[in-house]
Chain A
Amino acid sequence: MEYALFYAEGDEPIAYVPAADDIGDWVDDLESRGASEYGERLRPDQDATTVRVRDGQLLVTDGPFTESKESIGGFDIIDVADLDEAIEIASRHPAAAFGRVEVRPFMQWPGAEPEARVVPAGFRERVASGRRYLMFVVAERQGRRAVIGDDGGEPTPTEDPMDDDPQAWVDEMDGRGTRLFGDVLRGPEDATFVSRRAGEVLVSDGPFAEAKEWIAGFDVLEVQGLAEAIEVASKHPMARGGTLELRPLWPFDVHDDHVARHEREAAERGIRVEPAAAEVLDEVGAGR
């Protein structure tokens, strides 16, 4: 069974200690048991770009979709036996020790090929030919098009059911070579939160059952830059009923000396490396 693990600070974070970061061992273990599909770190909040379309107007803002501090700093996609194995793996991730790990199952599609996986085979060997972004598809409880899948929340009637179907978008972006892969997650009521404090593993059903907005799915995009990413996001049907958040990937060597890495990266923290949304809007307008 496949799960997405999202890493965030959580409600009661404790300070990150680079010297205690054993992410390399964690990744090695995941690889050795054949559970790892793909994982990346994400550039911090200030590099997020949020895309919405309301009444035909493209709205782009700098920063993440939510005002809360629950911004996601990275993710992994794993393929394991069941939730207990996912919890066990999540509990040993360094983020579990200072923040929390959200374990989210993927939607299981009827009629899917049994060998099909969220991450296409051979993906990790593929050389990037552009800039890669993770695009979060964020659903809103009150949104007109909030419902994806069979039980993602309260059934909200839509004006035109075909509008909700992202398949046309998927076909277009796959055809352009822009969308590398992506999938839909089960709703927040099927999420499990895992953290580790003082050696004890804490498991809970998560505080987001009544959340107003939640990550309903994601796609990994490969584009020329932020302008194209915004253009791609704005065409997604959920741009109209929900929100798309674009996050540049932030690759690093998991076996690095994390104290040195942390010091090296300190200069980058708090500084937006993405162009401001306003700067690229003209470009996006031209591309539409």
Chain B
Amino acid sequence: MTDGAPTPEGRAEVLAPAVAAALRSAFETEWSRVVATLIRTTGDWDVAEEATSGAFERAATTWPRDGVPANPGAWLTTAARNLALDRLRRRGVETDKVREWIAMEALEGRTGGPPDPADVAIARDEPAWEDRLRLVFTCTHPALPMESRVALTLRTVGGLETSEIARAFFVPESTMAQRLVRAKRKIRNAGIPYRVPPPEALADRLDGVLAVLYLVSNEGYVASSGDRLQRVHLAVEAIRLTRLVVDLLPDAHEPHALLALMLLQHARAAARVDAGGELVPLEEQRREQWDRALIAEGLALLGPIPTSERGPYRVQAEIQAVHVSARTPDETDWAAIVRRYDELAGLMRGASPFVELARAIAIGMADGADHGLAALAALESSGRLAGYHLLPAAQADLLRRSGRADAAAARYRETIPLAPTAPERRFLERRLAEVEASAAPGPDR
């Protein structure tokens, strides 16, 4: 397996801006579609991934020279198909499936040559979402270890490179590569089918799919590493896939709730960073930049449901709803948010330290910084979030709000080296500079 998928960021430096933008956009919208289609046609995950990577590499050299094709998705699909075919032939793989496929390709006269305009229409007629859903259900199969499901979904559906996923989960790249290899090998060896489960099995498989989509969405909302705060294409991908699940299971509440949660988070994407890509905290965001259409759609998904049907995604979506419903930061109903976090801790049976952290912050905002700091101190002494940057960052923020600049500065210095993305680190450095300036004796003191 190789990780030759071009990162749009990496290519952008040497390409004309229009071509770079087209490449980036194609990567974000077409990667999973091309991979999913190739897995269906070749039955070979490695070949599908390698060929898709190869097609993007080819695009990066061809498009600047010949121009961006009218239909980049069809171009990439055809290029990837040809690469896959070459690779399978060179390997001498003679499965029935490949023989059948080669015969079909030969019959249609599309073997080997440059992308054929006829393929444009063919590629567009393929039920692309069907393929992607197949891919999602296969990547999230319960016979795979949970960590492999998330990794495989990010790699195969999201197009993230193995090294990025490894950083996201704090494991060496070789470990992550091995995990992905094993997962794909189990899919093949154990006979995990490449399909959407039949209706009677769908509900059982749903929780697992939602769990993985939630993790993908989270990675999009706040990247766990890198130069950018968000990976918008992952958030968009998670929303698209969740929409499909909602369509597939219109009576299930949790897919609706998860979609609402994602939409309400994603509605703020443009306001969460400034023009330079720097982090803008919630209370400083220009709320007119929030996407009102997405907010309306998200809120509309949160119609009344019986209490017994309320699940973790529903409660988290409602927390987002409280935030987006406030016209100004001061209008935020923090007490309502604290109540939701209490409910969430109850639903999750045994509070997650991350829920406790968010709840402590909400208490600090609702009842005063000291109450929040007390809750954070309890969490800190439990040691369950050791090394996690948002614990000292939350302490620093509440100390800053209550005017304890020196103590805040100490916490900021603690959290800065732990910050996983550059925008978060720079934001914390700016805050540190602010509290240092306010703590330092001014010239007129």
> What residues of chain A have their CB less than 8 Å away from a CB belonging to chain B?
1, 3, 81-84, 86-88, 103, 105, 151, 186, 189-192, 201, 203-205, 209
Once the chains are docked, how many angstroms separate the CA of A190 from the CA of B183? 9
Chain B residues positioned under 8 Å from A151 (CB to CB): 185, 189
Q: Which residues of B contact A1 (CB under 8 A)?
A: 191
B interface residue numbers (CB < 8 A to A):
141-145, 148, 182, 185-186, 189-193, 197, 201, 204
How far is the CB of B433 from the nearest CB of chain A, in Å?
Answer: 48
Structural contact, A205 and B191, CB atoms closer than 8 A: no
List B contacts of A191 (CB < 8 A).
190
Q: Is the CB of A205 within 8 A of B144?
A: yes
Give the distance in Å from the alpha carbon of A87 to the alpha carbon of B197 in the complex.
12
Closest to B142 in A: A203
CB distance from A101 to the nearest CB of B (A): 13
In the complex, chain A residues whose CB is within 8 Å of the CB of B193:
81-84
Whether the pair B192, A189 counts as a contact (CB closer than 8 A) is: no
**Whole-angstrom distance between the alpha carbons of A201 and B208 in the complex?**
13
* B144-A86 in contact (CB<8A): no
Main secondary structure of the interface of A (DSSP, over half): mixed
Indicate which residue in B145, B182, B189 contacts A186 across the interface (CB closer than 8 Å). Answer: B189
Given the known inter-chain contacts A83-B193, A203-B142, A205-B143, please indicate yes or no for A189 contacting B186, CB distance below 8 A: yes
- In the complex, A203 Cα to B193 Cα: how many Å? 15
Closest B residue, CB atoms, query A85: B193
CA distance A201 to B101 in the complex (A): 37
A76 to B204 alpha-carbon distance, docked (Å): 25
Highest count of chain B CB atoms <10 Å: which of A84, A87, A201 = A84
A82, B201: Cβ atoms closer than 8 Å: no
CB distance from B171 to the nearest CB of A (A): 16
- Say yes or no: A190 contacts B142, CB within 8 Å: no
The minimal Cβ–Cβ distance linking A211 to chain B, given in whole angstroms, is 15
Complex Cα gap A192–B191 (Å): 11
A83-B191, A186-B190, A189-B182 are known contacts. Are A88 and B201 too (CB-CB below 8 A)? yes
Whether B204 pairs with A83 at a CB distance below 8 angstroms is: no
| Given A105-B190, A186-B189, A189-B186: A83 and B201 interface contact (C-beta under 8 Å) | no
Q: Across the A-B interface, give the 8 residue pairs with the lowest CB-CB distance, nearest first.
A: A203-B142, A82-B193, A192-B143, A190-B189, A1-B191, A83-B191, A190-B190, A82-B191
- Contact flag A201-B204 (CB < 8 Å), given A82-B191, A186-B190: yes
Contacts of A88 in B (CB 8 A): 201
Chain B residue contacts of A81, Cβ below 8 A: 193
Q: Which B residues lie within 8 Å of A189 (CB)? A: 182, 185-186
B201 contact set on A, CB distance < 8 A: 84, 88
Chain A residue nearest in CB terms to B193: A82
Tell me how far the C-beta of B276 lies from the nearest C-beta in chain A, rounded to whole angstroms. Answer: 44
Query: Whose C-beta in chain B lies nearest to the C-beta of A87?
Result: B143
CA A189 – CA B185 in complex, angstroms? 9
**Listed A/B pairs (18) with beta-carbon separation below 8 Å:** A3-B191, A82-B192, A83-B143, A83-B191, A83-B193, A84-B197, A84-B201, A87-B143, A88-B201, A105-B190, A151-B189, A186-B189, A186-B190, A189-B185, A190-B190, A192-B190, A205-B145, A209-B145
* Nearest-Cβ distance from residue A17 to partner chain B, whole angstroms: 24
Most chain A beta carbons < 10 A, residue from B142, B148, B185, B191 = B191
Which chain B positions have C-beta within 8 A of A204? 142-143
| Given A1-B191, A82-B193, A83-B192; A203-B143 close (CB under 8 Å) | yes
Residues of B within 8 A of A87 (CB): 143
CA distance A205 to B148 in the complex (A): 10
Q: How far is the CB of A179 from the nearest CB of chain B, in Å?
A: 25
Best-surrounded residue of A1, A81, A203 (most CB of chain B within 10 A): A203
| Residues of B with C-beta under 8 A to A84 | 192-193, 197, 201
